[in-house]
Amino acid sequence: MRSSVRGTARLLSGAGLAAALLLPAAPALALTPSVLPAADGPGQQLPGMPSTLDADAGQACTPASGEKAKKQDWSRQRLDLDRLHRHGTGAGVTVALIDTGVVAGATGLDGRVTAEGAAGADCVGHGTFLAGLIAGDGGSTPGLAGVAPRARILALRGTDERGRADADLVAEAVRDATRADAEVIAIAVALPRRDAGLTSAIADARRAGAVVLAAATPDPPSRGSGDEIPARTYWPAGEPGVLSVADMLPDGARPDGSLRTGGIDLAAPGAGVVSGGPRGDGHYLGGGASVATAYAAGAAAVVRAAHPGASPAVVTRRLTATAYPADLPQLDPYAAVTAVLGDATPATAGRAGSGPVSLHDTSAADRATGRATLFVLLGTAAVLSVLWAAFAVPRARARGWRAAGAGEPDR
């Protein structure tokens, strides 16, 4: 019964959020198809955050945004972050973010970012944008905090300075994260071919106790060739034990233009998402599987902080077993932190899971629910009795307590 109520609420919430996201009229951005243009108030349009810069065109670094969002975006409402933060904020957990780098002094992140080597610079701005979704405190807009606003970020570069991913850089970044004992490793890039060095680095990270998440696909290019790209596996999301994360719209579907793949373990918001950048205190819109991966990594950090004794396999199962059931299981950070998981009965679907998971025996809860239902029924009957008496007694007194329809008494 609890799950059905939650499901109904989710459906209603999703429909409302979809309407809220799609109703405002706004000019199209020359961004990835995963970024839904959305106005944040009359006449306001947030700039888009690219995942790569055009090297051939000599494109300059992403400039500071002069716009600030005025309200919480749909993605944070969908993930119910306000309620989640009453139960956990990821304090004490380090999330290694492998992307374009993170500027340590960026708004909302100051004091909680450590950058390795070149990762302290972020010309593209994408890594800093993602870091805000994982661990930002929202700065002057607390409603735009990340999933784990007290977690620490270890910034690692998996791309060149223009945002182009490289297998050797990603593998070395994973090794650096492992040496730094990062509890969560978020890989925001996706590669078209498997790499032996990266496979080995991922295996070592998992043996060392890290929860490893990766984008299920690359973020789509800003302007595609128009040719349909066949479905394929991307790496390292396809590695055993890696949680493969895809982007979704408010209705749970993947955005138009998303690259196709199989083996997705989890979906999270990945379109029209608001976060900050490396320069200034303005906001941007972003989207793609990389954004969804950042949200899932933040959830993993909150789970690890709330359940410090849980193994990486249990953390992963918490994320997948408590996800809202749909064609693509949808991330539910609050449930992942608060659910009581057992050790037996059927295994959940999902390639990244490594064992069975179930809710504990619910018979006691069912009995409590039965008692509550009985009390409600008895209470309802009592109220109806009082109402009936209030109606019937005066009428009976007026008839001299004779049965309704009886004639006058004999004289």
- For 118-131, the pLDDT digits (tens) are 999 999 999 999 99
Dump pLDDT digits (tens) for 342-357: 753 333 334 554 333 3
Please list the alpha-helical segments (H only) found in 105-246. Answer: 126-135, 167-179, 196-207
Q: Read off the pLDDT of each residue in 363-384 and give the average, rounded to a whole number.
A: 52
- Among 244, 240, 247, 236, residue whose Cα is nearest residue 271: 247
Spatial distance between the Cα atoms of 347 and 356, rounded to a whole number of angstroms? 4
Question: Where is pLDDT greater, at 177 or 22?
Answer: 177
Question: Where is pLDDT greater, at 61 or 363?
Answer: 61
260 secondary structure, DSSP code: P
- Tell me what pLDDT residue 405 has: 56
- Tell me what pLDDT residue 29 has: 30
- Among 244, 340, 347, residue whose Cα is nearest residue 292: 244
Q: Read off the pLDDT of each residue in 207-217 and give the average, rounded to a whole number.
A: 98
Tell me the two tokens of residue 348.
């959940």
Q: Read off the pLDDT of each residue in 214-220 and give the average, rounded to a whole number.
A: 95
- Phi and psi of 235, rounded to 5°? -125, 145
54 pLDDT band (50/70/90 cuts)? confident
Q: Read off the pLDDT of each residue in 327-336 and give the average, rounded to a whole number.
A: 97
Q: Read off the pLDDT of each residue in 60-71 and give the average, rounded to a whole number.
A: 94
- Tell me what pLDDT residue 347 has: 35
High-pLDDT (> 70) share of the chain, %: 70
Distances (CA, A) of 388 to 39, 135, 385, 395: 55, 59, 5, 11
Spatial distance between the Cα atoms of 265 and 245, rounded to a whole number of angstroms? 6
Partnered with residue 191 across adjacent β-strands are: 235
Sign of the CA dihedral with 132 first, then 133, 139, and 141 last: positive
144 secondary structure, DSSP code: G
Question: Where is pLDDT greater, at 390 or 64?
Answer: 64
- Tell me what pLDDT residue 345 has: 34
17: pLDDT strictly greater than 80: no
Among 142-151, 196-205, 226-235, the range scoring the smallest mean pLDDT is 226-235
- Tell me what pLDDT residue 38 has: 44
CA torsion, ordered 381, 387, 392, 398, to nearest 10 deg? 150
Spatial distance between the Cα atoms of 336 and 273, rounded to a whole number of angstroms? 21
Spatial distance between the Cα atoms of 261 and 277, rounded to a whole number of angstroms? 29
227 pLDDT band (50/70/90 cuts)? low
8 pLDDT band (50/70/90 cuts)? very low
Average pLDDT, the chain: 81
Dump pLDDT digits (tens) for 229-283: 899 999 999 999 999 999 999 999 999 989 999 999 999 999 999 999 999 999 9
Spatial distance between the Cα atoms of 218 and 229, rounded to a whole number of angstroms? 12
- Tell me what pLDDT residue 58 has: 67
- Tell me what pLDDT residue 342 has: 72
- Tell me what pLDDT residue 391 has: 64
- Tell me what pLDDT residue 378 has: 63
Dump pLDDT digits (tens) for 376-385: 566 666 666 6
- Tell me what pLDDT residue 346 has: 33
18: pLDDT strictly greater than 70: no
365 pLDDT band (50/70/90 cuts)? very low
User: Which residues lie below 8 Å from residue 272, measured CB to CB, with a gap of 6+?
Assistant: 21, 35, 36, 37, 38, 73, 74, 75, 285, 287
- Tell me what pLDDT residue 85 has: 98
- Tell me what pLDDT residue 26 has: 29
Question: Where is pLDDT greater, at 364 or 224?
Answer: 224
- Tell me what pLDDT residue 57 has: 60
- Tell me what pLDDT residue 379 has: 63
- Tell me what pLDDT residue 298 has: 98
335: pLDDT strictly greater than 50: yes
- Among 349, 345, 351, 342, residue whose Cα is nearest residue 314: 342
- Tell me what pLDDT residue 385 has: 67
